[in-house]
Structure 1
Amino acid sequence: MPPTVAIELPPGLEPTAWVDRRADAAARSWCPAQRTHPGDVAWSAAQHDVDDECRSRVWCAGDASGPVLAWSRVEPAGPGVAYADVHVDPTHPEATGLAEQALGWSRGHAPATLLTLLDRERVLLDAVSAAGGREQDGPWFTHLLTDLVDGSGRPLERLRPSLPAGYRVRAVTDDEADERVEVHRASWAPARIKRLAGQVPDGEEAGSRFSRPAYDRVRATRLYRRELDLVVEAPDGRLAATALGWFDERSRSGLIEPVGTAPSHATRGLARAACAQLIRELARIGARTALVCPRGDAGYPIPARLYRSLGMVPVARTRTFRLGSG
């Protein structure tokens, strides 16, 4: 077995080549018991800007050109607190040792470190427990899954999208990039999300971090496919909603992430219709399952209800832990 080597990446934007290599690592071991889908890697990496304080370390087999076995990406989460995104290939013979190394490095950036795991990620859960991690209360996410084929591998009949008169769902075009970004930003404005979750905005919320450069980085990743980048077109020709899908050929699994509707077109079933079409597209290109990961707690139940109405069922949930002082 080749030795492992730890490589610290430059802060800020992650090179696309490393994003793709981490997505490959997630694909090698992905199953419903793993928190990170390859599509999660591609989408989340694009959200960081050049001046972000994100720090990353990856562990590779053999040397820097070898397969990625584990990673930790750490960024500030408040005074004295950092958030760590940690992944370890649970099938690797040295998974326990890699988990210990990743957690140890993650804890070196702030007095306290938060990290979120899936309740089925046994290797990381055991490592966090051994390190004295304390589970935290608060919002959590559910992993909802639907089968796209039956036990014989035959495609299952899927719901057809149902839209109000004059609306249609289709793939985005190249000349709609700026408008698509603006629909996402309006859909995911932090103040709006607070209101949807029953909270009162304080007026200090920043805008969505998504931008045209971020969208360009999304489209530059190996996993991006334009036929899975769907938009809902309103009767006046403008974009009203978006839904992005990711397909991993190795596991033949699809991920829906993210979905949003412009506030002026809300409550018309557009997000549900876009997701229904996205599931059909995933099935068409060979996916056997489709996954989505909305909030699962009672604080923001609307998205999970939407996905359950499409036949998606819970298979796991997240748990958040705190390591260190505080």
Structure 2
Amino acid sequence: MVNPELVTAADLKLMQGLAQHVTASRPELVNSDAAFGELAWNWGRRHAGEGAHGPRRLWFSGGELVAWGWVWPPRQARFDDGSVKEIPDAYLSYQVRPDHAGLVDEVIAWYDSTAAGTERRVAPSATDGFALERWAAHGYGTDPESLGDTGSWTQLNMRDLAEVEQPALPDGFRFRTADEAGAEAAVRAHVDAWSPSTYTAESYRGVRQAPGYRSDLHVLVEAPDGTMASSTIVWLDEVNRIAQFEPVGTHPAYRRQGLGRAMLLHGMHLAREAGATRMAVVCLGAPGHPGARGLYYGVGFRMFTRDAPLVKPAG
């Protein structure tokens, strides 16, 4: 079955189901951008905004989804500070079930035909030797931008939840849920942490529609003056009992006060109460991006796997 349409909520559930299958059988092959929570976040935030409407293709066998590809096409990104960025290349997010690995050639061929004429990027798992061979055979090589101290590659970090330290906030700060804080404050918290950002109220509505979103697992830290100083969303994969933080951010004026650490610990307690036994989070892995990695390592995460960014020139 082939259907080059846009990603719907129903498609996303199928894609998350495949992510759960791969996580259960070959977790080292899960691409950072194809994990259960990452899929929900990317679909939700792009549902109505920048990069939202790239084409997708689904491959089925015996009525089950066994592979998918989702192209983020060249686009124009508009930021909250009024700036506009042209993104001239295409990016592919994809996943193939390990027992149907041969389909990666069909995924590549579809991507090349869909994004013909543009530079094409993709980031398969660095441990997926078969896929890396097939991408190379189709003319994809290591992305130069991913190399060096400030490279763009990402790593998936994991830790178990058997024992989690109790969180400690500075005096006057408190944890809130998204429903308690309200939609406007939840959006503002994200934009403040990531500005310049493409995130909007409409993006947040998309996130809330994403399968797996739970407002009781959308955590914020409120400062004494009412500012939402930090925020994160916990996405729970109930099948594998793994929860993922995505995104994680703190307002620049409130950094280095221990808020991110306390929020992560609080989120892990909530995830454990919801049934999770392990926790995941993605970050940039190159040496020149130590901030987030140091925060995550400081609360017990360690790298589980990483991606291998590839690029193919336009043509």
Check conservation: 1:81, 1:110, Cα contact below 8 A. Answer: no
Q: Is residue 117 from structure 1 mapped to residue 124 from structure 2 by the alignment? A: yes
Check conservation: 2:143, 2:309, Cα contact below 8 A. Answer: yes
Whole-Å separation in 1 of the counterparts to 2:16 and 2:305: 21
Whole-Å separation in 2 of the counterparts to 1:321 and 1:51: 22
Check conservation: 1:88, 1:124, Cα contact below 8 A. Answer: no
Following superposition, the deviation at residue 263 of structure 1 comes to 2.1
Deviation track 1:134-180 (CA, whole Å, cap 9, x = no partner) reads 112322112211012xxxxxxx2211112111111232226611111
Following superposition, the deviation at residue 114 of structure 1 comes to 0.8
Partner of 1:213: 202
User: Which SS does the other structure have where 1:294 is aligned?
Assistant: strand
Q: Is residue 142 from structure 1 mapped to residue 131 from structure 2 by the alignment? A: no
Check conservation: 1:144, 1:292, Cα contact below 8 A. Answer: yes
68 and 234 in structure 1: CA distance in 2 versus 1, 3 angstrom threshold = same
Match of 2:166 among 141, 160, 175: 160
Following superposition, the deviation at residue 123 of structure 1 comes to 3.8
Whole-Å separation in 2 of the counterparts to 1:215 and 1:133: 35
User: Which SS does the other structure have where 2:309 is aligned?
Assistant: strand
Partner of 1:171: 177
Deviation track 1:186-239 (CA, whole Å, cap 9, x = no partner) reads 1111xxxxxxxxxxxxxxxxx412111221221122211222100101112332
Partner of 2:12: 19
Identity of aligned residues (%): 27
User: Which SS does the other structure have where 2:67 is aligned?
Assistant: strand
Q: What is the RMSD of the two structures over their aligned residues, measured on CA atoms?
A: 2.0
Following superposition, the deviation at residue 129 of structure 1 comes to 2.4
4+ residue segments displaced more than 6 Å: 77-80
Check conservation: 1:34, 1:120, Cα contact below 8 A. Answer: no
Partner of 1:84: 92
212 and 238 in structure 1: CA distance in 2 versus 1, 3 angstrom threshold = same
User: Which SS does the other structure have where 2:283 is aligned?
Assistant: coil
230 and 60 in structure 1: CA distance in 2 versus 1, 3 angstrom threshold = same
Q: Is residue 180 from structure 1 mapped to residue 180 from structure 2 by the alignment? A: no
Match of 2:21 among 28, 37, 41: 28
Following superposition, the deviation at residue 287 of structure 1 comes to 1.3
Q: Is residue 40 from structure 1 mapped to residue 46 from structure 2 by the alignment? A: no
Check conservation: 2:116, 2:314, Cα contact below 8 A. Answer: no
AA at the equivalent of 1:99: V
Check conservation: 2:44, 2:208, Cα contact below 8 A. Answer: no
Q: Is residue 72 from structure 1 mapped to residue 61 from structure 2 by the alignment? A: no
AA at the equivalent of 1:125: L
What is the TM-score with the length of structure 2 in the denominator? 0.85
AA at the equivalent of 1:71: W
Match of 2:295 among 295, 301, 306: 306
- Runs of 5+ consecutive residues of structure 2 not aligned to the other structure: 76-85
Following superposition, the deviation at residue 325 of structure 1 comes to 4.6
Whole-Å separation in 2 of the counterparts to 1:288 and 1:255: 11
Following superposition, the deviation at residue 324 of structure 1 comes to 4.3
User: Which SS does the other structure have where 2:233 is aligned?
Assistant: strand
Check conservation: 1:54, 1:76, Cα contact below 8 A. Answer: no
Check conservation: 1:61, 1:69, Cα contact below 8 A. Answer: yes
User: Which SS does the other structure have where 2:263 is aligned?
Assistant: helix
Check conservation: 2:179, 2:216, Cα contact below 8 A. Answer: no
User: Which SS does the other structure have where 2:127 is aligned?
Assistant: coil
Whole-Å separation in 1 of the counterparts to 2:125 and 2:229: 33
Tell me the number of residue pairs that the alignment of Structure 1 and Structure 2 aligns.
289
Whole-Å separation in 1 of the counterparts to 2:163 and 2:124: 33
- Runs of 5+ consecutive residues of structure 1 not aligned to the other structure: 149-155, 190-206
Check conservation: 2:36, 2:237, Cα contact below 8 A. Answer: yes
Check conservation: 1:160, 1:276, Cα contact below 8 A. Answer: yes
